[in-house]
Amino acid sequence: MIRENSIKLSSSYAVASKVKDYSQLMKFNLTFMVVFSSVVGYLLVPGIEFSLIKVLILFAGGLLVSGSANTINQLLEKETDKLMARTAVRPLPAGRMSETEAIIVAAVTGVAGLVIMAWGFNLLCAILSLVSLVLYGFVYTPWKKWNSLAVLVGAIPGAMPLLIGWAAGANELGEGGWSLFGIQFLWQFPHFWAIAWIGHKDYSRAGFKLLPGSGEPNKLIALQAVMYTLLLVPAGLLPYFFHISGPISAIVVILVTLFFLYRAINLYRKCDVPSARKLMFGSYIYLTIMQLALLADKI
């Protein structure tokens, strides 16, 4: 009996460890944010009513496509991940998973996700998902070692979830979809530069060039973060002007943008890691409140 219980416990632990490895490989926390944005974009389409089935299909498709892109990212960065404390514990650099297994995961999840997008919604949604996967996995990922323009390239797939969600509901892009894309595109820059500022030493050790100019954290980078955050003020009003959401959400979005701008200005004033960390968390607060406000005040 004791031996049987030990075997069961060992099997349960093995399964739990494998699930945890797949979660790390596909970056589940990041993927959940991506899928949430897609669902918001879908529900903001005029005339679309909430359907749990459709939301679950979009969630599944987005989870698989984004998970595939993240897996490709980790496959290509296996050796550099070993050099950074934050990423050295991932399944590939830590040796808990083979490259062959990860390739299979990337292929299966990617194909399955694209099929779900095409079957559950439309071909445009699947094509945009494929473009996002390719840009993130095969363009942005290697570009990070070339120069800091990788952030510009990465901002495109980073902003596409809202556009993909819009396409899933409207079967077209239109001014509504592009306005949502524009907001999240601009948001990428202060968000990512804050992350790159915090992890500068680790990223430099791995050979990643993520900060513009000299590549060192400085006032010029902080000023650029302020400028991109400032651009979010007019961009945040576009959903109101395009009659996607009402005046209450416009006010809420402006207020949360000013909060985000304050944290960017604070980074410019102090130019230190604590301020960069506050800007990073401020970016998450901004994105969440902005999306929920637009959705709650949908016309």
> What values do phi and psi take at 143, rounded to 5?
-65, -25
CB atoms inside a 10 Å sphere around CB 116: 22
d(CA 266, CA 274): 10
Predicted TM-score of the model (pTM): 0.91
Angular region, 173: left φ>0, alpha ψ -120 to 50, beta rest: alpha
d(CA 200, CA 82): 16
What is the CA 8 to chain-centroid distance, rounded? 38
Going from N- to C-terminal start, the domains of the chain cover 1-148+161-171, 173-299
Residue 190 contacts residue 279 (beta carbons within 8 Å): yes
62-73 confidence digits (pLDDT tens): 999 999 999 999
d(CA 120, CA 173): 17
User: pLDDT band at residue 86, thresholds of 50, 70 and 90?
Assistant: confident
CATH number of 1-148+161-171: 1.10.357.140
182-233 confidence digits (pLDDT tens): 999 999 999 999 999 999 888 888 888 888 877 789 999 999 999 999 999 9
How far separated are the first and last CA of the chain, in Å rounded? Answer: 63
